[in-house]
Structure 1
């Protein structure tokens, strides 16, 4: 299957933004060794695609809420079919089918962005002075030549951390500068990828379903670590796209999670029973004392700040002198309350 339609679509969006910045008057030439018109074109390519995919992101959040609501039923199935993995998976698939929940919906936005990433990777990789097909995918010769020499702090957008000496010579780039700029961007890409996944897990909690939990761990640890190797093969322009996309995701997720907060049960510890409100004091029905409304563990913002627990009520001070028997008082039998003890005979 040909992916030319993706290459044409990515090129069209990229070039339209570049034309806009050129019309506004942002210089196409380098300022501080950076061609800002092309950098902004890549940044707003991300904005365009994320606006288009926003309905899909909302569906992802709704799907995650549905999966969280099913966690009690999933836990019951796990206890019922403990040791029988095949039956457990069959019952869980049936549960998802009946409740119309899709455990893979949480990864859908990421899967939809893979073709975009591959398209941009292919388009930027073509930027070379020796490329004879300069007008492919709707480019003009002037646009192709401008993009080929575009750079970020003198590091060409088409260069990468692992560029060979021949590639660097063709692009007229300094190898040390390229490695420094590309290395910083790759590390930033890894960090923001980790923080994007961590932000969602902090807000929604770890899944009870082993399959879902495995996907969460893969997204939290596996993908950022894999970028340490694969990131050296990405052109600097692609890494800029990835970092911008992650930053956009962090802001978008924060907004959506504030507007549509997850249910309280998603952040409760496994095996704990959430307190039910009984009026304005937030106590359990029949409870002997007030229950703390603060959840245990880490909550709150992106970096998991600890929740500030309310101060525990102080125990009343007991005056031991007031409770001590007065001199000359008759001893009291504790078993008979306040009745005086029998006088000894004789």
Structure 2
């Protein structure tokens, strides 16, 4: 299956935003070693994609809320069908269908952005001065030459941390500068990726289902750590896209989570005596905090009679009358 349609779509959005910034007077030439028109074109590629996917993102939050509300029923099914995995999966799918909850919706926005990421990655890899004079998915020769020379603080947006000496020579770039700029951006990319996952888990809580909790841990720790290695092959322009996307996600999640707050959690269970028993709470790392010690009811003390005070019921202390 050809992915040219993705490359053409990404190129069209990039060129449209570049033309817009160029038309309003943003300098296309390097200012402080940066071609801001091309940098802003990448930034607003993110804005365009996220605006298009915003309805899907709202559905993701609503689906997560529905999954949270179903956790007690899911746990009951797990206890009921312990050891019978096939029946358990069937019952859980029926529950999700009945309540219109989709466990896969939580990952859908990320999956929909993968083609955009891959498209930009492919397009930026083609920005090699060795390809000058060639067309690039609807680009003119002038646009191609302008983009291939674009840089961020003198580091070409087509360069990467792992660029070879030959690639750096073709780009006319300083290897140390490219490594410093790319290295800083990779660290920022890792940090913002961690924060986006942490923000969501703090608001929604850890899942009760072990499989879903494993996915949460993978999103929180696994993906940011993997970027330390894979970030070396990402062009600087792609890392700019990723960091911008993360920052946009942080703001968008904050707004949506305020508008659609998590369902209230039960603070405790009521026993037969009518007293509320405090339940242990879970921290971000999944550890369980001990429940606070129950407060013992205090019985009010009845003060005894003070020395020299008259008895409360003097009749009881009187001698019995004689029978005459």
TM-score, normalised to structure 2, is 0.85
- Any conservation in 1 of the 2:129–2:171 contact (CA below 8 Å)? yes
Q: Which residue of 1 aligns with 2:219?
A: 219
Q: Aligned match of 1:326 in 306, 309, 312?
A: 306
Residues 1:72 and 2:72 aligned together: yes
- Any conservation in 1 of the 2:186–2:228 contact (CA below 8 Å)? yes
Q: Which residue of 1 aligns with 2:117?
A: 117
Q: Which residue of 2 aligns with 1:25?
A: 25
Deviations 1:120-152 (A, max 9, x none): 000000001111563120101111111111111
Q: Give, in whole Å, the separation in 1 of the partners of 2:54 and 2:68.
A: 21
Residues 1:172 and 2:152 aligned together: no
- Any conservation in 1 of the 2:206–2:213 contact (CA below 8 Å)? yes
Residues 1:186 and 2:186 aligned together: yes
Q: Where do 5+ consecutive residues of structure 1 fail to align?
A: 276-283, 300-312, 333-338
Q: Which residue of 1 aligns with 2:84?
A: 84
Q: Where do 5+ consecutive residues of structure 2 fail to align?
A: 285-294, 320-324
Q: Which residue of 2 aligns with 1:94?
A: 94
Deviation at 1:58, TM superposition (A): 1.1
With 74-83 and 136-145 compared, the bigger mean Cα shift is at 74-83
Q: Which residue of 1 aligns with 2:288?
A: none
Q: Which residue of 1 aligns with 2:260?
A: 260
Q: Which residue of 1 aligns with 2:200?
A: 200
Q: Which residue of 1 aligns with 2:231?
A: 231
Q: Give, in whole Å, the separation in 2 of the partners of 1:148 and 1:115.
A: 22
Q: Give, in whole Å, the separation in 2 of the partners of 1:133 and 1:75.
A: 63
Deviations 1:213-250 (A, max 9, x none): 22212211111111111111100000000000000000
Deviation at 1:114, TM superposition (A): 0.1
Q: Which residue of 2 aligns with 1:240?
A: 240
Q: Secondary structure at the match of 1:264?
A: coil
The structure whose RCO (Cα within 8 Å, separation 6+) is larger is 2
Between the two proteins, the alignment pairs up a number of residues equal to 303
Q: Give, in whole Å, the separation in 2 of the partners of 1:91 and 1:215.
A: 21
Distance change (3 Å), C-alpha of 1:216 and 1:297 = closer
Deviations 1:137-191 (A, max 9, x none): 0101111111111111111000001111111111011111111110110111111
Q: Secondary structure at the match of 1:104?
A: helix
Deviation at 1:297, TM superposition (A): 6.4
Distance change (3 Å), C-alpha of 1:129 and 1:288 = closer
Q: Which residue of 2 aligns with 1:308?
A: none
Q: Secondary structure at the match of 2:131?
A: coil
Deviation at 1:94, TM superposition (A): 2.2
Q: Give, in whole Å, the separation in 2 of the partners of 1:297 and 1:211.
A: 17
Deviation at 1:328, TM superposition (A): 5.2
Q: CA RMSD in A?
A: 3.2
